[in-house]
Amino acid sequence: MKFEEMSRLKAEELRKQETVRILSLETSCDETAAAVIENGRRIVSNVVFSQIDLHELYGGVVPEIASRAHMEACDRVIDEALKGAGMKLGEIDALAVTKGPGLVGALLTGVNCMKGLAFAAGKPLVGVNHIEGHVSANYLTHPELEPPFLCLVVSGGHSHLVEVADYGVYRLIGQTADDAAGEAFDKAARVLGLPYPGGPRIDALAEEGNPDAFALPKPKTAGRYDYSFSGLKTAFINTVHGIEQRGEPLPKADLAASFRKAVCSELMDKAERVILEQAAGDGKGAFAMAGGVSANRELRRTAQAMCSRRKVKLYMPEIPLCTDNGAMIGSAAYYRLMRGEVADLRMNAEPALRLL
Ligand code: KG4
Ligand code: ZN
Q: Which among 316, 352, 298, 321 is positioned nearest to 150, based on CA atoms?
A: 316
- pLDDT tens track for 101-133: 999 999 999 999 999 999 999 999 999 999 999
- For ligand 1, the distance from its centroid to the CA atom of residue 349, given in whole angstroms, is 22
Q: pLDDT at residue 282 above 60?
A: no
Span 165-180, pLDDT tens digits: 999 999 999 999 999 9
**182 CA from centroid of ligand 1 (Å):** 5
pTM over 0.95: yes
For residue range 51-104, what is the model confidence (pLDDT) as tens digits? 989 998 898 999 999 999 999 999 999 999 999 999 999 999 999 999 999 999
- pLDDT at position 57, please? 87
The C-alpha atoms of residue 230 and residue 181 are separated, in whole angstroms, by: 10
Q: What value does the CA radius of gyration of the chain take, rounded to a whole number of Å?
A: 21
Nearest-atom number in ligand 1 for the CA of 186 is 14
Distance CA 35, CA 47 (A): 6
Residues with beta carbon inside 6 Å of ligand 1? Answer: 29, 134, 155-157, 182, 185-186, 197-200, 203, 291-293, 295-296, 323-324
pLDDT of residue 75: 97
pLDDT above 90 coverage of the chain, percent: 95
Rounded-to-integer distance, Cα 184 and Cα 186, Å: 5
pLDDT tens for residues 13-56?
999 999 999 999 999 999 999 999 999 999 999 999 999 899 98
Ligand 2 centroid from CA 31, angstroms: 9
Q: What is the mean pLDDT of the chain?
A: 96
157 C-alpha to center of ligand 1: Å? Answer: 9
Asked whether the predicted pLDDT for residue 281 surpasses 90, the reply is: no
Contact 325, 31 (CB under 8 A): yes
pLDDT at 280: 44
Which residue has the least CA distance to atom 3 on ligand 1? 323
Give 334's contacts (C-beta < 8 A, 6+ positions apart): 20, 22, 37, 39, 40, 41
Please identify, by atom number, the ligand 1 atom nearest to the C-alpha of residue 291. Answer: 1
